[in-house]
Amino acid sequence: MEKVLDEKTLKQDALDVLKNNDLGKSTKPAPQLYPHQWSWDSAFIAIGLSHSNPSRALTELETLFDAQWKDGRVPHIVFNPNTKDYFPGPDRWNCAALSPAAPEKPATSGLIQPPIHAFAVKTVFDVAPELKDRVRALYPKLVRWHKYCLTERDPEKMGLITIYHPWESGTDNSPRWDSPLKGVKVGEVPPYTRRDTKHVNDPSERPSNEEYDRFLWLVECLKKDHYDDAKLYKTYPFLVKDALMTSIFTLSNHALIELAKQLDAPKEEVQMLEGWQKRAVDGLLEHSWNRQKMLALDLDMERGGAQVDVSTCAGLSPIVVPRLPAEIATKIKEQMFSDKFAGWSDLKFRVIPSTTPGTAGFHPRAYWRGPSWPVISWLYWIGLRQNGFEKEAKELRQQNLDLLEQPEAKFGEYFELTKGTQLGSADQSWTAAVALDWLAS
Ligand code: 9WN
């Protein structure tokens, strides 16, 4: 067996990945597959960079928030004008022409991704209090972002964030979306050429052409309604309350409340943030948490808010909810290390599968349908520690580091479960970033 990398080498390699993917004021998620700035990737990247260069870490988020829309949404992609090698690019989204809320420049997509940014800003601020003025300047933008999530994306006031597209979830091809997507009748999609499949070893690790047609049809529907939330809510064919997105919101919103206090924000504003926190936590526990399955499930709003019954890593997401009731935290921890997830007997490393092996929609190599994403293990490592499960957190960290220390792991985007083989892109920024945070902890 080939010798594994030592931690010092792993750290240097991780720093090199981030340096090579650095676009100046933001970082691309991967050298070729993802050549622009992605929203939640940048938050993880900032956390990874916080240990070596907190100022650059904050720049990452400042650049992202410079592209914030007037309605508060933070776009899932901010386009890098120096590359054309990505589809769908700025012309296909056409946001500035279609929506008065979109910035003229930079060009962005019209979707969102999980709001982990306030948590990242707080992480950077904790290690670099001297950045207070810059954090103060970002703070109101974070408040507007959270407001967007819990108003425009939750007109029912259920406390759960609605997504319009699997790309918003960050877990694009998860079986979570199979049933809601079935209800979408695909119309005429303008012609296009995929570029993503040429940047991976095996195109079957990426979504299929049929799935891509569906994704692009949804983009056409968003454009027809000018990315206007009120209109979309009436006519749009894919409205799903996302459990993972909402759990992440509570983690981040809790950090935002702490930031508000540190920055002496007005009392009423702190109370408003606390109100959102309560609403989101209650929403998750009342509507999404399924006691029998011991998983948080998404709600399909096109089917009267029915829970989508699948077993994926998103189901474990309430572990990141601050002040989660101990009884639920224990159930999630047990579930996480059961044979459905990190305790599955065929795993080479005891990391968290994106979908429970053998269940509906599972595929050992396909996108979000089985393989493990280190970034998800990292998120749940945070959650385990937050709930006092130190032993399990330590073990999860070590197993992920063992996986990443294989010389052929190369900071993969995701990994096959039984052999630990690297899949998707190599040199993925957020994988390097979470490795840096694990190594620093
Ligand atoms: C579409 C960049 C992004 C991540 C997502 C991941 C993947 C894009 C894609 O890559 O999504 O946004 O083309 O598959 O699913 O979580 O932010 O790393």
User: Of 86, 92, 80, whose CA–CA distance to 36 is shortest?
Assistant: 80
Query: For the residues 352-363, what does the mean pLDDT come to?
Result: 97
Q: What is the pLDDT of residue 195?
A: 87
The preferred substitution site among 167, 215, 313 for testing ligand 1, maximizing ligand atoms within 8 Å of CB, is 167
User: Looking at residue 3, what DSSP letter applies?
Assistant: P
Catalytically active residues are 172, 413
Q: What is the pLDDT of residue 201?
A: 82
pLDDT at 278 over 80: yes
d(CA 405, CA 425): 17
Ligand 1 atom, smallest distance to 196 CA:
13
Between residues 211 and 344, the one the model is more confident about: 344
Tell me how far the alpha carbon of residue 433 lies from the centroid of ligand 1, in angstroms. 16
What's the mean pLDDT when you consider all of the chain? 97
CA-proximal residue: ligand 1, atom 5 (nearest): 170
pLDDT band at 2 (very low <50, low <70, confident <90, very high): low
Q: What is the dihedral of CA 326, 115, 48, 270, to 10 degrees?
A: -70
Q: Provide residues with CB under 6 Å of ligand 1.
A: 29, 34, 38, 40-41, 76, 113, 167, 170, 172, 196
Query: How do residues 126-161 score in pLDDT, each as one tens digit?
Result: 999 999 999 999 999 999 999 999 999 999 999 999
Query: For the residues 283-300, what does the mean pLDDT come to?
Result: 98
Q: What is the pLDDT of residue 1?
A: 52
| Verdict on whether the full-model pTM lies above 0.85 | yes
Ligand 1 atom, smallest distance to 368 CA:
15
d(CA 359, CA 357): 6
pLDDT at 43 over 60: yes
CA-proximal residue: ligand 1, atom 13 (nearest): 196
pLDDT at 285 over 70: yes
Q: What is the pLDDT of residue 205?
A: 81
Among 1-10, 82-91, 129-138, the range scoring the smallest mean pLDDT is: 1-10
Query: For the residues 273-280, what does the mean pLDDT come to?
Result: 98
Query: For the residues 116-131, what does the mean pLDDT come to?
Result: 98
Burial label for 410, CB within 10 Å (0-12, 13-18, 19+), is middle
Query: How do residues 161-187 score in pLDDT, each as one tens digit?
Result: 999 999 999 999 999 999 999 999 999
pLDDT band at 196 (very low <50, low <70, confident <90, very high): confident
CB-CB contact of 236 with 222 (8 Å): yes
CA-proximal residue: ligand 1, atom 12 (nearest): 167
